[in-house]
Every structure is written in structure tokens, then in C-alpha cells.
Amino acid sequence: MRVLTVNPGSSSLKVSLLDADDTVLARDSGPSRETGPMAAGMPHPDAIGVRFVHGGTDFTTPVRIDAKVAERLHELADLAPLHQPASLRALQEVTSALPDVPVVACFDTAFHATLPPAAATYALPAGWRERYGLRRYGFHGLSFSYATRRAGEMLGAAPSRMVICHLGAGASLCAVADGRSIDTTMGFTPLEGLVMASRAGSIDPGIPLWLIRHGVPPDEVNRALERESGLRGLAGTGDMRRIRELAEERDVTALAALDVYHHRLRACAAAMTASLGGLDTLVFTGGIGEHDPSVRMRLAEDLAYLGVSIDPGRNTSVDGDGDLTSGGAPVRTLVITAREDLEIAAGVRRALNSG
């Protein structure tokens, strides 16, 4: 089965056409607002898989899209305003261009369906939780699922206690115990957790309430938290490469932004290890996780007390998947290239073959 995978992210759109053996036949990428290239010049697929960030409690496995499913996906859009609308636009385009090809939705929230109640439950009134579905869903599940499988291949067996760091424009961590998600840093929406490119991450919930009571319109508060906060709010840019350049020039604002970024990253990573009861393997993936050796080294140094130690030479020279572990370190540290396209294609085949 030849599968076209469509992966709209918060800052990019990635499209791949995979053969039955997962060979990449064609690939394209560009800014998230540009959906035009997705079918141009590519061979005709047998099926299409579209990444959707939020599946709510409705969708915990890949599902073939029909009118009823599409309607529910639209209803979930306000829970992931940077992502879900882009996925819906991509869905509209591929169904218009390829109306006879089955389309399957694959969900980032699905990997976290195994979260235990203690990790998934907010301490909110029961009526709210039941009426509005207020709970922690978690995101980046397609990336975490692939990284979990790939780590097992690289190490010869699935690690018992693994923290995966998906670090990019959007960023989150996942505690994986024996292949299952048991804790993660994102929650009801992709706003919670780490400092990201333009998203604030976790803040005192009293802050937006205070701003609204003092006259800031709710839509403006939402837009600021989603698009004008995070590294952009701290340093004027959400581009980690540019912040790194400014920091090397001893720019005070950039240095302070990195301190805030790493303070949250260190604290959240330690929290994930607490949920696991220890740490066997640390994994970096995503644009920053794969390509920024300084971020990897700083977190490794911050977690040295847990047994994390990486080889400086391996850290700076790694290209693609690699093992960065220093000799004798009890915790293995890996870099794994994000391959959400493989996870989407696998989900498409499961959904259509089971139907």
C-alpha cells in the first residue's frame, strides 16, 4: 500500500509518499500555511494519512475519515488552534485533489491514552471535568511512538524507563515505561509544559484571568499565549539558532532567554524521571533535539546526578540516529530523527486493514 503522509506542524508542513516497504518515493516540506505542494508531482497514492494533533477522548487509534469524523475534528479545533485548522485545511485539499483515495486521521493524543488517572486528571470540579472533558491529553504522540520503537531497535530491547525530549518549535517531554506513556508535559491543549518558540508553556492560571479582568480581551490573551510568548516573548525571536548566535555574542536578553528555557526543561525532565522512578534512557528528537548539541549537553549536565553523561565528540558530530553516551554512563542517551511519517503510514495501514 502506497501511503501519502501529510504532517502539518505549528511551523511547517511535511509531506511524504511511502511505498509498501516504507521507502520514501517523494518528499516535500514548507511553511505550515502553504499546503499547495502536497500532491504536486507525486505518484498517485493508495491511501492518505493526515496528522491531527487533537483527538479528544473520541479517537485513541487511527480512524478512516468520513463525514461524521470530519465534523468532530472541526469541533476539536479550538483545543489546538495552531495545529488543528492546518490539518483541516490539508484534509480539504487532499480530498479535493484525490477524492477517490481513502484518508485516515492519525492522532498525537492517541499515544497518551495509557496515561494513568493520576497523571491525566486535573484537580478541577467534577462537573467541569465531566461536562467539558477537562483532562490532560498530551501531544507529540506520533513522534514519541516512533522514538519508542526506534530506541528499542537501537538498544536491542525497549528501555524500561525512558524520557523522550521532543524539542522543536513546539516541545514536550514524555515518560515512557515499558513502551507506554505514563506522564507528559503537555495537557488539555499544546500550551502546557515547556517554554516553546512562541508558546508560553506552563504559567500561573491566574495570569490570564487577571489580564482579562483588567480589560485585555480574551482573544488577545489567547493569541499572546500561543503566538507571542515563549522564546519570542523572551528574546524577540522564536528561532533557537538566532538566539544561540546572539548568546555567543553575549547578548544579555538571549542569555536570559536560554536560562529560562533550560530551567523549565531541567525541571520538567526531572519530573518525568520521578514519574518513572528512575531513568535508563534519555532520547532527543525534533528539530532542536536533533540539531542543537548545546541544548543536549546542557540538559545532560543538569541531569548528571541521575547518571546522564554524553560524549562531547559524539554530541557535536552526530548525524541522524546516534548514541551519545559517555563510556561507563549508566543512562543511555540517544538522538533519534523524528519520523512521524513512518508512524502515520503504519497507522493508515492498521486502520484500513482492520476495516
| Residue at 112 is within a domain | yes
Q: Which of 78, 108, 183, 251 is catalytic?
A: 108
320 Cβ contact list (under 8 Å, min separation 6)? 335, 337
Give the residue ranges of the chain where pLDDT is below 50.
33-38
Q: Alpha helix locations (H) across 80-217?
A: 84-97, 117-120, 126-132, 141-155, 206-213
Q: CA nearest 231: which of 298, 164, 288?
A: 288
Q: Is the domain of 298 the same as that of 197?
A: yes
The whole-number pLDDT of residue 265 equals 98
Q: Is the domain of 320 the same as that of 214?
A: yes
Distance from C-alpha of 170 to C-alpha of 96, rounded to nearest angstrom: 29
Amino acid type, 298: R
Residues 181-193 have pLDDT tens digits of: 999 999 999 999 9
Q: What are phi and psi of 17, to 5 degrees?
A: -110, 120
Distance from C-alpha of 85 to C-alpha of 65, rounded to nearest angstrom: 16
Q: Is the domain of 113 the same as that of 172?
A: no
Residue 136 Cα distances to 44, 100, 110, 192, angstroms:
38, 36, 12, 9
Distance from C-alpha of 191 to C-alpha of 266, rounded to nearest angstrom: 18
Q: Is the domain of 122 the same as that of 198?
A: no
pTM: 0.93
Q: Is the domain of 121 the same as that of 207?
A: no
| SS3 category, 8 | strand
| SS3 category, 315 | helix
Please say if 108 is a catalytic residue.
Answer: yes
| Residue at 350 is within a domain | no
The whole-number pLDDT of residue 355 equals 58
Sort strands 24-30 and 47-52 into parallel, antiparallel or unpaired. Answer: unpaired
Q: Alpha helix locations (H) across 156-237?
A: 206-213, 218-227, 230-235
Amino acid type, 239: D
Q: Is the domain of 203 the same as that of 327?
A: yes
Q: CA nearest 168: which of 143, 136, 133?
A: 143
258 Cβ contact list (under 8 Å, min separation 6)? 243, 244, 247
CATH number of the domain within which 218 lies:
3.30.420.40
Q: Is the domain of 124 the same as that of 168?
A: no
The whole-number pLDDT of residue 31 equals 60
Q: CA nearest 172: which of 285, 7, 309?
A: 285
The whole-number pLDDT of residue 41 equals 66
Q: How many residues does the chain have?
A: 355
| SS3 category, 328 | coil
The whole-number pLDDT of residue 12 equals 72
Expressed as residue numbers, the domain containing 48 is 3-137
Distance from C-alpha of 265 to C-alpha of 190, rounded to nearest angstrom: 16
Residues 199-214 have pLDDT tens digits of: 999 999 999 999 999 9
| Residue at 152 is within a domain | no
Residues 37-53 have pLDDT tens digits of: 445 567 889 999 999 99
Give the total number of structural domains in the chain: 2
The whole-number pLDDT of residue 35 equals 46
The whole-number pLDDT of residue 37 equals 44
The two most distant CA atoms of the chain are separated, in Å, by 58
